[in-house]
Amino acid sequence: MTSNANLVRLGVNRNNISGTIDVSQNESLEWLFISNNQISNLDITLNASLSWLDAQYNSGISLITNPAGHPSLTSLNLSGIGLTNYNLYAGSFPNLQWLLLNDNNLDKFNGNNTLLVENLFLNNNVIDKLVLSSNSTLKQLHVNNNVLTQLDVKNTNNIDLTTLSATGNLLTCISVDNPDDILMPYSSWSIDLGVILSANCGAEPEVILIPDPYFEAALGRSIDSNGINGNILVSDALNIISLDIHRKNISDLTGIEAFENLEVLKVHDNLLTGIDLSNNTNLTELNVAKNQLQELFINSGRKLLILNASINRIDTIDLSDLTDIIELKLNQNFFTELDLSKNDLLESVDVSSNPYLESLNLINGNNVAIQYMNAGRNGSLYCIGVDDPAYSTINPNWLVIDPDYYTSTGDCDAPMVFTQDIEIFLDRYGEASISTSDVDNGTTDNETSNKDLIFSLSTYNFDCSNLGPNTVTLTVTDESGNESSESTEITVVDIIPPTAKAIRSYSYDLIGSGVTLEASLLDDGSSDNCDVSLSLSQSYFTLAGTYYIDLIVDDGNGNIVTDQVEVEIIEGTGNKELKFGGTTVIVSPNPFSNDITLSFSKSTNFNSVSVMLTNLVTQMSVTTDFVIQDDQTLKATDLSLLTAGTYVISITVGNKTKTAILMKSD
């Protein structure tokens, strides 16, 4: 785009552009649309007229802004770029009216940095608290699918906030101007059932949301004293010891976590696909049979005595903590293995009709207490571990299709996997790899020898994107097909320092009271096996002279190197004298009116010379041809049509670039 200085609108959405897109020469650019590409770097420092910027879904893009800000920008879309902190950019865009930050990783958002925003989109982030009480210009707000527990839009101007969408959060109350004012647009807001509006959420009684209307209806007024409104008072939930809500068409049991004193729960014959009872630690009897459960989380420890989870779709369950359970029904599920070795008080067990069940471990040291055991109609079951196969075979109350399945020594157990955390180092290409032997820490199996076990890792190769701790899973399979896995932490470290390479010299005219140099201007190809950041030991200059400063190259992993640059700061009027090693270039006249002459102190190969003239106010490059007069002179003529003012002339000789300030007279 360097030849389109007058370009106003640019749209390159949904292409396969990667790397950097250069708009530094498009000073007139007002609208820039680059969404859904693979752009990693966008520098809008020189785009002072930009009013609309859409860079959404360029994952990991780095946005470089002008330190003085972009007051002209009114619409910004940075959705889906992996952003974790918008406040890095907030001060650069003081006059935004549209701000879209959907599908990022934001956990905080400071509304005081966006006081003029009218349309704010923060869907699908991880924000837990959002206070917008100072944002009186808001007209629409979208904060769906965060983890909000607090939302404050009490901004004294709710009458203009006609659109608010805040579903899929953890809210029970939203702070507003006046929840009783019928003129307010609250009825059109989209919020979860049970969430209330209040002028003072802190004064409202504590409630827990009950999003399933069938669940709330099943509770009835005798339990839910505040009526059918999508929530229940926490105090009401804590009063309940026994709850029978079977066959009520319930599909979501969210809110059951508030029933902390519950001892008996009967919720069978419903439509549940999931249930989390980890907060209901007082349960002694649980019946969740005849649902559509795919998982079941129980954390009741030694208190649970009776569990019926039959006729579901559960494929895994951990019963090791239920050491006092006496009656267990898990028939007609999707289990592949069941371990009951910790449940030595069992009296009744039904694990029949699990078509994928392959392994059942009943070696608990107290099989004689089991008065009824049914493991029939398990098509894939090939082995049942028991205390005494002879006892199990002759017991008429033990129902198994083939008694030969009983064994006290057979391989019903998966390997015991042990891992160790390790540290690995990236090589000069930014890569590293591991093998299974690096993380194995003595894995064993009850039957298969270690040399015959099959080891595999979830990840073998690492690069710069994996720096720091990484969770890797080691999976081990024995000769019987029993499989077990264990996680380990692989810490990826980079100890290779970067290479610092700076240009040899650089000159610049003082502008006003001082000049600030960007580190990138002095870089000549610094590199690293990973990414680097550049900075200068001194970047701001107020006095003319020659300075020797360091270009600092930091890879962010504790490896820092430097390279020295000679910086010449020039001040004054009249002809400019620029030195390039043994060659001196005199720029004259200053001020100029119709022509500019570059006089070289010795014969020069002008193929290595380039010259650019830029208007300092508009930042627009001036198309100017410098014509060879002889082997020591370049000259540009026909400059009378240029507007009067301040210009920057930038001269490059070989790999050295120097600049000077020139004045154009009327």
pLDDT tens digits, 267-299 = 999 999 999 888 899 999 999 999 999 988 886
pLDDT at 389 exceeding the cut of 60: yes
Residue 421: which pLDDT band, with cuts at 50, 70 and 90? very high
What does R_g of the chain's alpha carbons equal in angstroms? 36
By the 8 A CB rule, do 456 and 475 touch?
Answer: yes
Once rounded to an integer, what is the mean pLDDT over residues 49-69? 94
Q: How far apart are alpha carbons 53 and 47 in whole angstroms?
A: 11
pLDDT in tens, 447-481: 888 999 999 999 999 999 999 999 999 999 988 67
Among residues of the chain, what percentage have pLDDT more than 70? 96
Q: How far apart are alpha carbons 148 and 152 in whole angstroms?
A: 11
For all residues of the chain together, what is the average pLDDT? Answer: 90
Residue 146: which pLDDT band, with cuts at 50, 70 and 90? very high
pLDDT in tens, 165-208: 999 998 999 999 999 999 999 999 999 988 999 998 988 888 88
By the 8 A CB rule, do 282 and 304 touch?
Answer: no
Among residues of the chain, what percentage have pLDDT more than 90? 64
Strand partners, 10: 32
Q: How far apart are alpha carbons 260 and 25 in whole angstroms?
A: 65
Once rounded to an integer, what is the mean pLDDT over residues 580-585? 88
For residue 181, the model assigns a pLDDT of 94
For residue 562, the model assigns a pLDDT of 94
pLDDT at 382 exceeding the cut of 80: no
For residue 629, the model assigns a pLDDT of 92
3-state secondary structure of 434: coil
Written as six digits, the tokens of 597 are: 């002459």
By the 8 A CB rule, do 41 and 22 touch?
Answer: no
Residue 18: which pLDDT band, with cuts at 50, 70 and 90? very high
For residue 538, the model assigns a pLDDT of 93
Q: How far apart are alpha carbons 117 and 119 in whole angstroms?
A: 6
Q: How far apart are alpha carbons 409 and 378 in whole angstroms?
A: 21
Measured over the CA atoms of residue 65, residue 66, residue 67 and residue 69, the dihedral's sign is negative
pLDDT at 511 exceeding the cut of 80: no
Written as six digits, the tokens of 337 are: 């293995």
For residue 359, the model assigns a pLDDT of 83
Residue 228: which pLDDT band, with cuts at 50, 70 and 90? confident
Written as six digits, the tokens of 362 are: 């009943």
pLDDT at 408 exceeding the cut of 80: no
Q: How far apart are alpha carbons 661 and 33 in whole angstroms?
A: 35
pLDDT in tens, 472-481: 999 999 886 7
Q: How far apart are alpha carbons 333 and 338 in whole angstroms?
A: 11
pLDDT at 509 exceeding the cut of 60: yes
**Distant-in-sequence, close-in-space partners of 390: CB < 8 Å, separation ≥ 6:** none
3-state secondary structure of 389: helix
3-state secondary structure of 633: strand
The DSSP call for residue 416 is: B
Burial class of residue 650, CB neighbours in 10 A (0-12, 13-18, 19+):
middle
Q: How far apart are alpha carbons 157 and 181 in whole angstroms?
A: 12
pLDDT at 246 exceeding the cut of 80: yes
Buried residues in 165-178 as b, exposed as e (16+ CB within 10 A): ebbebebbbbbbbe
By the 8 A CB rule, do 658 and 648 touch?
Answer: no
Ordered structural domains, the chain, with CATH: 9-201 (3.80.10.10), 208-407 (3.80.10.10), 422-493 (2.60.40), 505-569 (no CATH), 576-664 (2.60.40.10)
For residue 88, the model assigns a pLDDT of 79
pLDDT at 510 exceeding the cut of 80: no
Strands in 426-516 per DSSP E: 431-433, 454-457, 461-463, 468-477, 483-493, 505-509, 515-516
**Distant-in-sequence, close-in-space partners of 449: CB < 8 Å, separation ≥ 6:** none
Residue 512: which pLDDT band, with cuts at 50, 70 and 90? low
By the 8 A CB rule, do 91 and 68 touch?
Answer: no
Phi, psi values for residue 91, rounded to 5°: -70, -15
Q: How far apart are alpha carbons 472 and 422 in whole angstroms?
A: 11
For residue 295, the model assigns a pLDDT of 87
Token pair 């629409």 is found at 140
For residue 401, the model assigns a pLDDT of 65
Token pair 């571990």 is found at 385
For residue 436, the model assigns a pLDDT of 96
Written as six digits, the tokens of 139 are: 């007209």
For residue 402, the model assigns a pLDDT of 63
Written as six digits, the tokens of 66 are: 């002008």
